Amino acid sequence: MKRSWAELTEWLDHRTGIQTAIRQFLYEEIPASSGWHQVFGSVAIFLFLTQAFTGVLLAFNYAPTPGDAYNSLRYILTELTGGRLIRGLHHWGASMMIVIVVLHMVQVLLYGAYKKPRETTWLVGVVLLVVTLAYGLTGYLLPWDNRAYWGTVVTTRIAGLAPVLGPYIQRLMGSGGGSVGVVTFARFYGLHVLLLPPATLILIGLHVYLVRKHGVAPAAGDEVLPNQQFYPRQAFRDTVAIFIAFAVLFLMAVLVRVPLEQLADPTDTSYVPRPEWYLLFLFQTLKLFSGPLEVVGAVVLPGLAMLALVLVPFIDRSQMVKVTRRTVAMAFVTLGVIGWTGLTAAAVMSTPKEATAVAVDYSAPTDWMQLSPEEMAGVAYFRQENCVSCHVVGEHGNKVGPDLTRITIHKDAAWMIQHFKRPSAMMPGSAMPPIQLSDVQLNSLAAFLLKLNPNNATALDNAPEFATQGALVYQANHCGACHLVNGVGMKIGPPLNGLAKRQSRSWVEDHFADPQKLSPGSIMPPYKLSPKDMEALTSYLFALPD
């Protein structure tokens, strides 16, 4: 058996050269100074492969046209097994890949590993950095929610600021005049899926070839020390680093939910777009320039930064020295980190209140949006009384009492209210304690329970806390006596569905405080709500569907 296996591997190696290639790769000689600081390249390649794999899985269920793209993504997130995990891996993998590529570039810059004869290796790395950022730019639009749409509008308008070439770049992006539509979506999708991946594979292959051709850059004075082999020590370090990176990525995908906002609305001019976290510094830089100088922040400074990266190996032609003596490189990296951190922090701190307002996460089922305010308040009372400690609703609860989604246990509201007050009298032998709520509150609880069924239980259970608390404030102030919400209420005042498209949050809050000032002749009384109640109520109203 052993002889047959040896003959098979010899035949395979003779025909394909695979065994020899693997052996040469594993036992490649690398400098004695190689260590943990050189694991970033392997981690970056692993993350690219992860992005490619998760991207293919998403593509199997993704419809690459604007409206269908949004609906297909909601299907992936709400109905497809493992869909939320795959999207989380792809989303956070993109951010992690940018971080790792930047760290790899910083490591090479600090150690001077771009010096002769490795200039082309560095230049290919710079191109890979640009391609990595291009993935983020083109992929940002593909969810086709409000955040993606308006963020891309800003991006295309910035591209249009380029001297001479601006209008042509916009036309190439399919966004003539700064508008974003089907053509823009198709071109961004084509770049993201069809052009960038093969280009990345070619660039990675060229980068690895150049690294093997010129070898890993040794530290100064390392020439007199005997080389080590890539396997086992460096291979072990790379494997550990990849494992840690994937563990962090997996935890992010599981624990940090990637939100999905409402379907892109080109008429929602009140929306405040914000770029991804790694581009907030550029967003903040643009605020430092206005009018004719806007082109400086949008084009000139980023262009000079990229030009500086390209020219580094041709400007610094000095001999290799130890990293501790590379004070100029350390100073530039330190200034870069301070500048990026400062601008990013300023962008976060200067984010308008309207941009940080509570938003609905459309990546979860949203059947709760169709509930009346009374039924939504019932959700709040259901949670307040901790009914899931005995009953099952959706994916949560215990089976001490009956499953509340079963239609057979539903009675009318009057019977349910009496049951809440005297459980053992209505159902002899019941261990359920009486619920200490008013009749109005119990009626809300009954209204919610009567809406429950096996199909919507999980969705109703996902109602966000701000919506349930806002409904409580709405009910407590009897807003339904004048307004309609989801068809329930009176028509004395305007219906509140679609309020987010008609007014800003600040206007609504001011209107609550002084209706006569903003709507002369209004019969609505002023409301002195606490900041917490005001936030909950306005967030709830702005989450209502059109």
Residue 400 maps to a domain: yes
Q: Which residues contact 185 (CB under 8 A, 6 or more apart)?
A: 64, 65, 66, 69, 141, 142, 144, 174
Question: What pLDDT is stored for residue 21 in this prediction?
Answer: 75
The torsion of the CA quartet 336, 339, 341, 342, rounded to 10 degrees, works out to: 170
**What is the amino acid identity at position 301?**
L
For residue 89, pLDDT beyond 90: yes
In the chain, pLDDT over 70 holds for what percent of residues? 96
Q: Which amino acid is at 24?
A: Q
pLDDT at 266: 85
Considering the domain architecture, whether residues 306 and 383 belong to the same structural domain is answered as no
**Token pair of 440, please?**
């109005």
* CB-CB contact of 72 with 61 (8 Å): yes
The pTM for the full model equals 0.83
Select from 312, 334, 356 the last residue of a domain: 356
Average pLDDT on 486-503 reads: 89
Q: Which of 332, 356, 380 is the last residue of a domain?
A: 356
Distance of alpha carbon 191 from alpha carbon 135, whole angstroms: 8
Task: Give a yes or no: residue 427 inside a domain.
Answer: no
Q: What is the CATH number of the domain that holds 273?
A: 1.20.810.10
Domain residues for 212?
A: 31-356
Please, are residues 423 and 434 in contact by the beta-carbon 8 Å criterion? yes
Positive or negative: CA dihedral 410, 412, 416, 419: negative
Structure tokens at 281: 């510094």
Mean predicted confidence (pLDDT) in 292-318: 89
Distance of CA 410 to the CA centre of its chain: 40
Alpha carbon distance 161, 168 (integer Å) = 11
Tokens of 3: 């002889």
Work out the average pLDDT over 350-366.
Answer: 71
- Residue 84 pLDDT: 93
**Gyration radius of the chain over CA positions:** 30
Q: CB–CB of 110/326 below 8 Å?
A: yes
Q: Which residue has the higher pLDDT, 455 or 514?
A: 514
**Which residue from 381, 448, 368 is spatially nearest to 413, judged by alpha carbons?**
448
480: burial class by Cβ within 10 Å (0-12, 13-18, 19+)? middle
Q: Does the pLDDT of residue 356 top 60, yes or no? A: no
The pLDDT assigned to 353 comes to 64
pLDDT, position 141: 93
Which residue's entry shows tokens 């003539």?
176
Domain boundary, last residue among 356, 382, 398: 356
One domain, residues 174 and 196: yes
Per-residue pLDDT, averaged over 310-325, amounts to 86
Sorted by sequence, the CB contacts under 8 Å of residue 361 that are 6+ apart come out as 257, 259, 260, 464
Nearest alpha carbon to residue 404 among 458, 364, 341: 458
Of 262, 525, 485, the closest CA to residue 377 belongs to 485
Encode pLDDT of 389-403 as tens digits.
Answer: 888 877 777 888 888
Residue 343 shares a structural domain with residue 399: no
Give the pLDDT confidence score for residue 354 in this predicted structure.
59
- What are the tens digits of pLDDT across the range 219-258? 776 766 777 888 888 889 999 999 999 999 999 999 998 8
User: The CATH number of the domain where 383 resides is what?
Assistant: 1.10.760
379: Cβ contacts below 8 Å, ≥ 6 apart: 368, 371, 448, 460, 463, 468, 471
Average pLDDT, the chain: 87
DSSP 488: E
- Is residue 20, in this structure, part of any structural domain at all? no
Same-domain status, 133 and 224: yes
Exposure letters 5-37 (e unless 16+ CB within 10 A, then b) = eeeeeeeeeeeeeeeeeeeeeeebebbebbeeb
Query: Has residue 418 been placed in a domain?
Result: no
Q: Is residue 522 situated within a structural domain?
A: yes
Q: Of 74-78, 294-298, 352-356, where does mean pLDDT reach its minimum? A: 352-356
What size, in residues, is the chain? Answer: 546
Average pLDDT over residues 412-440: 87
Bridge partners, 260 (sequence order):
none
Assess whether 333 and 447 both reside in one domain: no
pLDDT (average), residues 86-92: 96
Q: Are 512 and 522 in contact (CB under 8 A)?
A: no
Q: What is the mean pLDDT of residues 174-180?
A: 77
436 found inside a domain: no
Total domains present in the chain = 2
% of the chain with per-residue pLDDT over 90: 44
Q: Are residues 330 and 399 in the same domain?
A: no
- The enclosing H or E element of 234 equals none
